[in-house]
């Protein structure tokens, strides 16, 4: 009876030096529970330790910004340059204040809260007043 041969051991993986981003971390908001997640730079997705939701990481070089929802005060992250951001928790449409000067920021924050309180279905009508 023939004796089975043991497979050859797999050769060790070649050593790769650490990249310039080794140890660097970035952050994003969990798509499930809205907690802030830290992840190593270069990751393509992040699994939340609290709710196990998997959140996709934006492509490298994408600049992100943050705002607090005027309706439920949840931290929202969005791609820099967006003019409005809809909250995934309360569905409030928030105006992004990035391009707005300091003089008008309080007005925009008040408007975001007004939009939520009024629960307007047609926020475009309200937004058109300021365009």
What pLDDT is attached to residue 49? Answer: 93
What pLDDT is attached to residue 4? Answer: 60
Q: Give a yes or no: residue 12 inside a domain.
A: no
Q: Give a yes or no: residue 121 inside a domain.
A: yes
Q: Number of C-alpha atoms within 13 angstroms, CB side, residue 36?
A: 8
Statement to judge: residues 38 and 101 lie in one domain: no
Statement to judge: residues 43 and 73 lie in one domain: no
Q: Give a yes or no: residue 16 inside a domain.
A: no
Statement to judge: residues 68 and 95 lie in one domain: yes
Domain stop point among 62, 84, 110: 62
Statement to judge: residues 100 and 52 lie in one domain: no
- The partner residues of 47 in beta bridges, in order of sequence, read 54
Dump pLDDT digits (tens) for 69-114.
888 888 888 888 888 888 888 888 888 876 555 556 667 667 666 6
The total of structural domains in the chain comes to: 2
Statement to judge: residues 52 and 76 lie in one domain: no
Instruction: Name the residue range of residue 29's domain.
Output: 23-62
Q: Give a yes or no: residue 1 inside a domain.
A: no
Statement to judge: residues 68 and 115 lie in one domain: yes
Dump pLDDT digits (tens) for 7-58.
555 556 555 455 555 578 888 888 888 888 999 988 999 999 999 999 999 8
Question: Are the C-beta atoms of 79 and 57 separated by less than 8 Å?
Answer: no
Q: In the 8-state DSSP scheme, what is residue 92?
A: -
Statement to judge: residues 38 and 83 lie in one domain: no
């Amino acid at each position: 009876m023939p004796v089975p041969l043991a497979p050859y051991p797999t050769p060790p993986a070649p050593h790769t030096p650490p990249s310039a981003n080794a140890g660097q971390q970035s952050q994003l908001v969990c798509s499930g529970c809205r907690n802030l997640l830290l992840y190593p730079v270069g990751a393509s997705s992040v699994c939340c330790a609290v709710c196990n939701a998997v959140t996709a990481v934006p492509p490298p070089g994408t600049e992100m910004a943050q705002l607090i929802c005027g309706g439920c005060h949840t931290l929202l992250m969005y791609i820099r340059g967006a003019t409005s951001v809809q909250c995934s928790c309360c569905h409030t449409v928030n105006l992004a204040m990035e391009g707005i000067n300091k003089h008008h920021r309080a007005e925009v924050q008040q408007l975001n809260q007004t939009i939520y309180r009024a629960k307007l279905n047609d926020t475009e009508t309200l937004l058109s007043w300021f365009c």
